[in-house]
C-alpha cells in the first residue's frame, strides 16, 4: 500500500509516518494533541519553517528539532502549530469579574497575587495590571498592592511581552482613561507606538514555563488566568494541568479559562461559578 502524503502546494509533502513522529514530539514536549485530520494544518504551518530553513523534507526538519540543544527549533515548532492570537481586554467579562472580586471577596487582602499562565505576547497580563491599578486606585482605605506572574512556553512571544511596546491600533478597545494613565506615546521613529509606563511593567514578572511540566514556583495565587490554551491538550493532560493549577490557588481563589473552553468531563475539585470561571472551595486541599 502506498503511504499517504499531504502537500503544502509548494513542493513539500508530509508523509503519514512523518506526521506521526511530529505529533508524538509535540505531545511529549508540550502536550499538544494533534489528532488524525490535522495533517493539512501541520503541512501548511511547518512548511513555512522548512522553506525558511532550507530543509528538503519533514523528516529532515524533525531530526533537526531533536538535535537542536538550544531549544530554539522546538520553540519554532510550537509557535507554528499553536495560535498566539490575543488582544487587550479579550473576553472583557473576566476583567469585570476580577474587579468585583478584588473589591468584595478579596477586600481584606493586602497584596493580590495573580498568574497569567499562558500570557502569549503580553496583552493579558498588561490588561490585568491596568484593571487592578484602576480598581485599587479607586478603592477607599489602606493602599493595597498586587503582583502578576506571566508565563508562556514560547521565548519568542515572551520577548515581545517584556518589551511592552505595541502599535497604537492594538489599544483601540481600551478606555481613554486607561490609555492616558498607563501608556507612553512614542514619537520620532517610534511614532504610532505606545509603551507601558514603568509603574505598570514593574508589577509583572515574565518567565518561561511549560504547563505540562512541574511548576517551579511555590507561591499561591488569588486568581489564575489560563485561557484559550486547554483546547490544545488531550483530556488526560487537561486533567493533570488543572489539578496542579488548583494546588496553586489560595482557598477561595479563582481559575479562569477561555469562554470557548469548558472543564466538563475533567475532574478538578473546583466549584463552577459561571461560564469559564471556577473557584477553589474553602474546605482545603486534597
- Catalytic residues, by residue number, are 45, 152
Angle at CA of residue 207, ends 124 and 115, nearest 5°: 45
Give CA–CA dist 141/207, Å, rounded: 33
- CA separation, residue 280 to residues 62, 207, 213, 221, 284 (Å): 41, 25, 22, 11, 8
Residue 28 belongs to what H/E stretch?
A: helix 16-30
Question: What residues are paired with 281 via a beta bridge?
Answer: none
**CA–CA gap between residue 148 and residue 144 (Å, rounded):** 14
All three cell numbers of 212, joined, read: 505540562
What's the rounded Cα separation, in Å, for the pair 196 and 179? 9
Amino acid at each position: 500500500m502506498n503511504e499517504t502524503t499531504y502537500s503544502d502546494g509548494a513542493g513539500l509533502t508530509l508523509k503519514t509516518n512523518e506526521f506521526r513522529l511530529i505529533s508524538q514530539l509535540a505531545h511529549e514536549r508540550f502536550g499538544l494533541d494533534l489528532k488524525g485530520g490535522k495533517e493539512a494544518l501541520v503541512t501548511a504551518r511547518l512548511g513555512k519553517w522548512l522553506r525558511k530553513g532550507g530543509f528538503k523534507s519533514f523528516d529532515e526538519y524533525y531530526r533537526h528539532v531533536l538535535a537542536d540543544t538550544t531549544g530554539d527549533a522546538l520553540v519554532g515548532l510550537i509557535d507554528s502549530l499553536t495560535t498566539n492570537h490575543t488582544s487587550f481586554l479579550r473576553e472583557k467579562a473576566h476583567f469585570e469579574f476580577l474587579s468585583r472580586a478584588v473589591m468584595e471577596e478579596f477586600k481584606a487582602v493586602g497584596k493580590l497575587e495573580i498568574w497569567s499562565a499562558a500570557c502569549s505576547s503580553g496583552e493579558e497580563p498588561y490588561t490585568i495590571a491596568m484593571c487592578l491599578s484602576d480598581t485599587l486606585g479607586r478603592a477607599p482605605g489602606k493602599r493595597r498592592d498586587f503582583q502578576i506572574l506571566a508565563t508562556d512556553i514560547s521565548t519568542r512571544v515572551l520577548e515581545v511581552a517584556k518589551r511592552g511596546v505595541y502599535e497604537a491600533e492594538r489599544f483601540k478597545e481600551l478606555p481613554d482613561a486607561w490609555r492616558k494613565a498607563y501608556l507612553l506615546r512614542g514619537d520620532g521613529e517610534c511614532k504610532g507606538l505606545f509603551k507601558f509606563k514603568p509603574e505598570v511593567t514593574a508589577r509583572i514578572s515574565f518567565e518561561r514555563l511549560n504547563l505540562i511540566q512541574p511548576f517551579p514556583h511555590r507561591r499561591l495565587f488569588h486568581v489564575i488566568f489560563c485561557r484559550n490554551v486547554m483546547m490544545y491538550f488531550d483530556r488526560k493532560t487537561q486533567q493533570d494541568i488543572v489539578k496542579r493549577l488548583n494546588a496553586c490557588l489560595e482557598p477561595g481563589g479563582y481559575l479562569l479559562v477561555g469562554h470557548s473552553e469548558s472543564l466538563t468531563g475533567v475532574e478538578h475539585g473546583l466549584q463552577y461559578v459561571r461560564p469559564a470561571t471556577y473557584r477553589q472551595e474553602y474546605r482545603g486541599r486534597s
